[in-house]
Amino acid sequence: MSISDPNAPLRSNVRLLGDTLGKTLKAQVGDALYQKIETIRQLSKEACLGDVAADKALNALLQGLTSDEMLGVARAFSHFLNLANIAENVHRIRRARWHQLHHQSVSQLGSIEATFKEFQDKNIAPERLYLAVEHLNIDLVLTAHPTEVMRRTLMQKFDKIGRLLRDYDEKRLTPEEFLETEESLYREVTSVWQTDEIRRRKPTPIDEAKWGFAVIENSLWPALPGFIKELDRQLKKFTGQSLPLVASPICFSSWMGGDRDGNPNVTSDVTEKVCLLARWMAADLYARDVNALSAALSMQDCNQALREYVGDAPEPYRALLKKLKDQLLATKQWIEVKLAGKSSDAWDIIERKEQILEPLLLCHHSLQACHAQCIADGELTDLIRRVACFGIALTRLDVRQEAAKHTQLLDEVTQYLGIGSYNEWDEKKRQSFLKDKLSSTSPFITNEIPLTEMSHEVWKTCCMIARQLPASMGAYVISMAGHPSDILAVCLLQKEAGVVHPMRVVPLFETQSDLQQAPLCLDALLACNWYKNHIHGHQEIMIGYSDSGKDAGILAAGWAQYNAQENLVLVAKKHGIRLTLFHGRGGSVGRGGAPAHMAIRSQPPGSVEGSLRVTEQGEVIRNKYSLPERARRTLELYATATLEASLLPPPQPKQSWRQMMQLLCDSSFQAYRNVVKNNQHFVDYFYQVTPLQEIGSLAIGSRPSRRYQDKGIEGLRAIPWVFAWTQNRLLLPAWLGVGDALQVAEASDLALIREMADEWPFFRSLLSMVEMVLTKASLEIFTFYETRLVPLALRSEGELLRLKFLQTQEAILKALNIEKLLETNPILLRTLLLRSPYLYPLHVLQAELLCRVRTQGDTIQNNKNKDALLVTISGIAAGMQNTG
């Protein structure tokens, strides 16, 4: 990679993949359709450069295609965009390696070395840095995605293509090897083409959980040791001290199979099965590593401690590991028996990670004593660090449930017992009742109490938790939480179910009003002596970005989230407890999405303090963790950003900034609500101009797109809300309300707005993400959807949205003091422009297909159109690099 033209290898890879796809198309679809695809590609390039005649010709050609031809064209452009994503991921790895090779002259932003050097330059004492790294606690929570459109089979094939591209960089290929790599690439692209990319059935929660296990197996498992090794190396270099051998600065949790909020498919039986499958997968991965380690540790010398353990065995390390291998095998077999529904007697199985760590540490200490530190630092240390991170279940499984479900269960119990209706009690009476029962040693929920089906399932879930190993379970997250009783209720239900090691209870504050009330709720909760003693000095709070954005708009929601975090930190300090904030961010800007480094650095000062929990969803997982090298870079960025936010926090916002931000918030909130909530025609317009109705009927996620069946925006989940606006390229949730607010503020004090953008990371991050979204959006494409799909009587809604978009664009340019969007980020701008000619035909096809699907009824022809429509949805998601 040349410093004068760092993107040359990327262009070369894109060209290689494009040529390979072209070769595949010629062989697979015939010359006639191939020539049409090439004509469409050329016309689209010219149309994207402003050629009106080319645009008309392109539209006429696309709208004149048969259903079969539409499917072929959609697949061709969709696959190109997926291949381009692969090339970009490989290029990110290439850039990281280039920086590592030239680290003395050019350090990569966010690398461990560059970050530690910054700490040194800013006089952070080595002792302080060491303590910060030693206490680093980052928990990345893998979640399923309700609008995930790509099949796991294709993900695996795309990952293989990525590895083949890496071969071009990493190996000095002979001419024969180069030819074989090209042939392998052609075989893989042909295999992709001949694979049905359409899900024919909705994935089950167990399918989604297995996909999560595959991400760990194929990417995070190989990536983790290298990341920690580099962290240890740089820590030793800058502080003179090594990271503890069993340190776990990053760990992983999951919602896949545990998140039942609005998803009736996630039952107690499903969650229990996922827990068992996770333990089986962990045992299998450890067994593979222990087998490889046993083959490597053939030495005969050992220390006295190991010799006492294995007796006179000639190969002491192998003798010790033999017992561990047997335990891991027994664990897998025991789980298989349990999954088969058969009874199982007492087995010698792994139930704590210490059972794996103890023999490994014994080997490590022995090798050190026998002057074999270099051997101890190899595969053995890698395995010890995996055990410290992944435990016996790979991830800790969270349970998420809506607060109202617990209220309903308790209401049924109190009514049966004749003590009144819990549902009708006020907050004071509920708390009094819950505190009394929590302090009592007598159970009050028995199996004899008749419960409705829904409440019975909630109770079964609590009983299921009681049967699980503590190492399998994470947090019990309560969605739509608003009162202390919501948290105490879950504590009581766990107690009544006999949970010996209760899951920590985490309230999720989502809407603007709930975020505003969150500090008061926490303050009241911590005033309860029983609860304060119960949490042992640590409380976790989840901040919801999705529903707050849908409820109030991105700007008002962002300020509500910022204020809530600040005030929650103050409440925690008042009560002398440690607070961890759990950020429920999505992949898109409309749901709190932002580059990890930027997002963490823009948090309120004092809100990170070395501890961070954040969701990683759907396409975000695929983008960040598709290859081990990308995963390692992602872990590095999370670690360095968390350390920076802790050791070099941003400044406290000035009072003038806060006042201006409140003005922006109020104006933005009102402008957003006037369009989305106070406009009687908006919902009808939304349904017509987006593919939302069709998305709901597609097999693209285990969870329904709505919490409850209602055509309004309130019942719609945030993910399909964002997804639908992404497909038609207006990306409304990510900017609506921002322009109105900035126009008011800029008219009164433009200098202050620019000062905030220059000096306040939170505000700069918000404006930068809106700037990026406005560049991704396209009024021309959005207007095309409207023309094809919306009745004339509703089109005035589109006029209003176009006006607001242009106002927002102008206001962002003025606030950032720039002349054109992304002028300070030419690499991102070039990437977006590169995709445009391949996205444009998919949008035209999608609008045409939506029109046909909505007018033709359920015919055989229409089923072909539905297939083509799903391919365009997948392709646009790939091109925009998010679904929702």
Q: Which two tokens stand for residue 327?
A: 């335990």
CB 591 within 8 A of CB 546: yes
Q: How many CB atoms lie within 10 A of CB 821?
A: 20
E strand spans, 215-342: 250-254
Tokens 């692209």 identify what position?
189
CB 555 within 8 A of CB 766: yes
CB 619 within 8 A of CB 587: yes
Q: Which two tokens stand for residue 521?
A: 């709720």
Quickly list H helices, 102-220.
112-121, 126-134, 152-170, 175-193, 205-215
353 tagged catalytic: no
What's the sign of the alpha-carbon dihedral 815, 818, 823, 824?
negative
Distance CA 860, CA 504 (A): 52
Which of 550, 776, 804, 866 is an active site residue? 550
CB 700 within 8 A of CB 148: yes
Which three-class secondary structure state does DSSP give residue 690?
coil
List the Cα angle 494/500/506 in 5-degree steps.
Answer: 45
Look at residues 472, 552, 487 and name the one whose alpha carbon lies nearest to residue 513. Answer: 552
Strand partners, 250: 138
CB 381 within 8 A of CB 368: no
Q: Which two tokens stand for residue 427?
A: 């907050």
Phi-psi region of 881 (alpha: psi -120 to 50; beta: other; left: phi over 0): left
Beta strand pairing status for 396-402 and 473-479?
parallel
Q: Which two tokens stand for residue 201?
A: 């059935």
CB 717 within 8 A of CB 586: no
Q: How many CB atoms lie within 10 A of CB 679?
A: 14
Cα dihedral 539/545/547/549 (nearest 10):
140
Distance CA 348, CA 329 (A): 10
Q: Which two tokens stand for residue 5?
A: 């033209």
Q: How many helices (H) and strands (E) does the chain have?
A: 37, 8
What phi and psi values does residue 709 have, to the nearest 5 degrees? Answer: -80, 100
Distance CA 378, CA 868 (A): 50
145 tagged catalytic: yes
Q: Which helix (H) or strand (E) segment is 423 a member of?
A: none
Distance CA 25, CA 34 (A): 6
Distance CA 480, CA 501 (A): 25
Distance CA 634, CA 680 (A): 44
Distance CA 849, CA 63 (A): 9
CB 266 within 8 A of CB 205: yes
Distance CA 419, CA 429 (A): 12
Which of 36, 145, 332, 435 is an active site residue? 145
- Taking only Cα atoms into account, the Rg of the chain, rounded to an integer number of angstroms, comes to 28
Q: In this structure, which amino acid lies at residue 530?
A: W
Distance CA 601, CA 638 (A): 10
Distance CA 44, CA 778 (A): 15
Strand partners, 476: 399, 505
Residue 228: is it exposed, middle or buried by C-beta count within 10 angstroms (0-12/13-18/19+)? buried
Distance CA 703, CA 694 (A): 15
Q: What are the catalytic residues?
A: 145, 550
